[in-house]
Structure 1
Amino acid sequence: MKPISMLFIAICLSTNAYAQTDSAIKIQKKMKLNAGIITTKLAASKAFYTDVLGFGVTFENDFYLLLHTPGRTSEISFLLPDHPSQQALFHKPFQGQGMYLTIEVEDVDEIYQEIRNKGIDIKIALRDEPWGDRHFAIEDPNGVGIDIVKYSPDNK
């Protein structure tokens, strides 16, 4: 193969690789995660997340509830099972196992005390982990474990 042909192929390949990398970066910048739980416990979920964790209501109707964290950096939604407005994929209710949420906070000790003062059952007591994180865990009305953590700066 002639050197000019090899150079042309190398340029094309590197341009294509750059385009794929650039495309992936653009997609990532536009991504936002909203976890959703299909449950009959809309009212209990709303009360728990707003009263215990200080979430706000973004949107609510008779079959769907969208809540946001303080500062509106994240959202979680709740959907009634078997609702006729939804496709079959979103009909089956969550069975209360195999899911957890992590909420990162600045002062885990303060949040721990506030939640204890509200009489919420602490599932994992406040503790320091060998890797540096400090955290505790509670459970929402749907059986979802919620790990409330202050990450160690060295492990983030």
Structure 2
Amino acid sequence: MKKHLALFCLSLITLDVSAQVTNSSKKQTTMKLNAGIVTPKLKETKAFYTAVLGFGTTFENDFYLLMHTPNQQAELSFLLPNHPSQQPLFQKPFTGQGMYLTIEVDDVDKLYQELKQKGTLIKIELRTEPWGDRHFAIEDPNGIGIDLVTYAPPQNGNN
């Protein structure tokens, strides 16, 4: 019995190694996106994303803040401008234009009501677009528009 169990375990190990070798030749590069914003407003930014959107802090030091969505499925980072630890490419501050974030939620109507009750300034009121998006928008302390959306099929066949 021990001999059969040992052979069975050995065959499982062999199958696993074989599967790893086969899969490794087909394996694609894994990527995880983390948008970063260079801003002097780390404290205000942390307070906003925590209080308004329920983000948590993944990591923080005196010049860098990494935050995650409530379900920890995505992260967003913030970096002080002109920090000596960073290369010149990552030192210029965001100027408050030309960027937006889209955050998909399960129930945009519920979130809209919650943010209204908190007194959050709504920049674009809740609406349904002909192409199906139901969304509203707010703005973070850095001037970044945040589109909060629940996707739906297009109305009347519009795309």
- Same fold per TM (> 0.5)? yes
Tell whether 2:39 aligns with 1:39. Answer: yes
Q: Corresponding residue for 2:52? A: 52
1:55-66 equivalences in 2 (<5 Å): 55-66=55-66
Separation in structure 1 between the aligned mates of residue 85 and residue 60 of structure 2, nearest angstrom: 15
Q: What is the identity percentage for the equivalent residue pairs of Structure 1 and Structure 2? A: 71
**3-state SS of 1:93 partner:** coil
Shift of residue 132, structure 1, vs aligned partner? 1.2
What stretches of structure 1 of length at least 5 have no aligned partner? 1-21
Answer yes or no: is the 8 Å Cα contact 2:38–2:79 preserved in 1: yes
Query: Normalising to structure 2: TM-score of the pair?
Result: 0.79
Separation in structure 1 between the aligned mates of residue 65 and residue 154 of structure 2, nearest angstrom: 36
Shift of residue 69, structure 1, vs aligned partner? 0.3
Q: Corresponding residue for 1:135? A: 135
1:2-151 equivalences in 2 (<5 Å): 22=26, 26-27=28-29, 30-151=30-151
Query: Normalising to structure 1: TM-score of the pair?
Result: 0.81
Answer yes or no: is the 8 Å Cα contact 2:58–2:67 preserved in 1: yes
TM-align CA RMSD: 1.6
Separation in structure 2 between the aligned mates of residue 152 and residue 77 of structure 1, nearest angstrom: 29
**3-state SS of 1:120 partner:** coil
**3-state SS of 2:126 partner:** strand
* Matched residue type, 1:49: Y
* Matched residue type, 1:79: L
What stretches of structure 2 of length at least 5 have no aligned partner? 1-25
Shift of residue 131, structure 1, vs aligned partner? 0.8
**3-state SS of 2:93 partner:** coil
Separation in structure 2 between the aligned mates of residue 154 and residue 32 of structure 1, nearest angstrom: 29
Shift of residue 153, structure 1, vs aligned partner? 4.8
Counting matched residue pairs gives 131
Misfit runs of 4+, over 6 Å: none
* Matched residue type, 1:50: T
Separation in structure 2 between the aligned mates of residue 62 and residue 69 of structure 1, nearest angstrom: 21
